[in-house]
Amino acid sequence: MDLRPFRIALIFVSAAALAACEGTVGTVDDPVTTTPPATTASGASTSGAGGDTVSGAQTGAGAEDATTTTAIADPRHPLDDPSTPLGTHTIYFEFDSSDVPDSAQPVIEAHARYLSEHAGASVTLEGHADERGSREYNIALGEKRTLAVRRLMSLLGATGPQIRTISYGEERPAQAGFDESAWRLNRRVEIVYRTRE
């Protein structure tokens, strides 16, 4: 007697919840008690429009690095030739490590040389970690990876102002998945050109 309506209620609620998710988020009704109902969307929402920004574009680039790099090759520009170190824009790391692997040295050297020869070019080094462990530690780990790459690039002739760094920790994986095949693609520094020549 009691169970059946309850089950119906659950179905009803989940359908309603789904409907609510599909539509706009602007739920004005707030059946919670407290003081003034907390409809905070206006003040809180950031300027929506994901994708117009640098970060939106970077996400796309990251995903393509991981899977279909050849698709965006532009042989006219050395930065876009994936068969060369300069056309490689991602450096991968071991777990919980910010040691730049030897195999990445040619990539770092190529970009450092490009930056030193093109004073108007500049990059953002985006640091990332795989999803294991805690999130803020992974933010710190991602930063440590960017700083290791920046240090090498600076030693090889790139100047400080040409290189910015930011860490996203585990917040922006390049590859979905929950095992080493995805994780190894997510422990990375992406070299994203802000300006090129």
Partner 1 sequence: MVGRKVIAFFIAALLAQAASAVIEVTVTRSTEAKQPIAVVPFGWQHGGEPQSVDIAAIVRDDLARTGLFEPIPFDSLPGRPHRYDQINFKDWRLLGPGSLVIGNITPSLTAEGGFVVEFELYDVLRQRRVIGYQLTASAQAMRRVAHQIADYIHEQLTGNPGAFDTRVAYVTEQRGADGSARYRLSIADVDGHNEQVILDSSRPIMSPSWSPDGTRLAYVSFESERPHVYMQTVATGDRERITDFPGINGAPAFSPDGDRLAMTLSKDGNPEIYIMDLRNRRLRRMTNDPAIDTEPAWSPDGRFLAFTSDRGGRPQIYRVAADRGGQAERITFEGSYNARPVFSPDGKKLALVHGGGGRYRIGLLDLENGALQVLTDSSLDESPSFAPNGGMILYATREGAGSVLSAVSPDGRMRQRLAVRTGGVREPAWSPFRN
User: Which residues bind to partner 1, rule: CB under 8 A?
Assistant: 1-3, 5, 9-10, 12-14, 16-18, 20-21, 25, 27, 29-36, 38-51, 53-56, 59-60, 63, 96, 131-137, 139-141, 143-144, 147, 165-169, 171-172, 176, 178
140 or 156: whose CB is closer to partner 1?
A: 140
Identify the residue whose tokens are 């790391």. Answer: 93
Rank residues 57 and 119 by Cβ distance to partner 1 and give the closer one. Answer: 57
Query: C-beta of 78: minimal distance to partner 1 in Å?
Result: 27
Rounded to an integer, what distance in angstroms lies between the CA atom of residue 184 and that of residue 174?
A: 10
Quote the CA–CA distance of 126 and 124 in Å, as a whole number.
Answer: 6
**Residue bearing tokens 């693609």:** 185
Shortest gap between Cβ of 158 and partner 1 (angstroms)?
18
What is the nearest approach in angstroms of partner 1 to the Cβ of residue 90?
18
Work out how close the CB of 122 gets to partner 1 at its nearest, in angstroms, rounded to a whole number: 15
Nearest to 100 by CA among 191, 177, 5, 173: 191
Q: Is 83 exposed, middle or buried (0-12, 13-18, 19+ CB in 10 A)?
A: exposed
87 or 169: whose CB is closer to partner 1?
Answer: 169
Token representation of residue 180: 């080493």
